[in-house]
């Protein structure tokens, strides 16, 4: 499956999609999250990370720009690194922080505001777009590589009616 769209009528639907993604992601995956302020990028990432077994809080890495989590995926230990590049002032900051080295084919990297990381940010395997629609959110997932296709093929999510 190259392309997937759904309507998420409320936050619980976003949480369900995050949990479904936690079962679908594969090591090394790079996910870009697009959407306006408040679209639900952090809510979706939090749900994914907590469904993958992280028991503590997941805050938006607004000032640190990145936050790593040690989780379990398919019974194996894995790292998920959550980025929020909104406050990054220049692409050099991304390089100076050593973020590029995080994209090593093993860590799962989830990036809010990837637009701010161009042109130094490695390319995505999956692009997620969230948009406010009525009281809920429209979500679109797009696979952009063989790994991304694998992830969307593994995705099992039925949105609530
Ligand atoms: N499907 C949904 N329907 C309605 N509200 C939702 C849905 N999913 C999440 N929300 C709400 O939308 C808000 C999303 O906030 P969140 O911090 O996740 O946005 P964000 O995209 O990360 O914004 P930012 O760009 O500021 O980081 C939260 O208040 C959450 O409760
Ligand atoms: Mg956010």
pLDDT digits (tens, 9 = 90+) for 96-147: 999 999 999 999 999 999 999 999 999 999 999 999 999 999 999 999 999 9
pLDDT band at 37 (very low <50, low <70, confident <90, very high): very high
Cβ of residue 11 lying under 6 Å from some atom of ligand 1:
yes
What is the full DSSP assignment across 42-59? Answer: HHHHHHHHHHTT--S---
CATH class for domain 3-154? alpha beta
Report domain extents, the chain: 3-154
Q: Indicate whether 1 pLDDT > 90.
A: no
Cα(43) to ligand 1 centroid in Å equals 6
Q: Which two tokens stand for residue 120?
A: 């130094």
13: Cβ below 6 Å to ligand 1? yes
Cα-Cα-Cα-Cα torsion 83, 81, 146, 126, nearest 10 degrees, comes to -30
pLDDT in tens, 56-68: 999 999 999 999 9
How far is 73 from 76, CA to CA, in rounded Å? Answer: 5
Residue 82 has pLDDT above 80, yes or no: yes
- At residue 99, the pLDDT reads 97
HEC string for 61-77:
CCCCCEEEEEEEECCEE
């Amino acid at each position: 499956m190259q392309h997937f769209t759904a309507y998420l009528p409320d936050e619980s639907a976003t949480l369900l999609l995050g949990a479904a993604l936690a079962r679908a992601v594969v090591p090394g995956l790079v996910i870009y999250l697009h959407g306006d302020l408040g679209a639900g990028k952090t809510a979706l990432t939090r749900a994914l990370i907590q469904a993958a077994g992280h028991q503590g809080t997941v805050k938006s890495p607004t000032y640190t720009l990145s936050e790593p989590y040690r989780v379990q995926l398919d019974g194996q230990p894995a790292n998920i690194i959550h980025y929020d590049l909104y406050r990054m002032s220049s692409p050099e900051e991304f390089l100076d922080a050593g973020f590029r080295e995080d994209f090593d084919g093993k860590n799962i990297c989830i990036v809010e505001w990837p637009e701010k990381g161009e042109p130094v940010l490695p390319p995505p395997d999956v692009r997620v777009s969230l948009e406010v629609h009525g009281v809920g959110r429209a979500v679109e997932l797009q696979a952009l590589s063989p790994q991304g296709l694998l992830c969307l093929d593994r995705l099992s999510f039925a949105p609530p009616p």
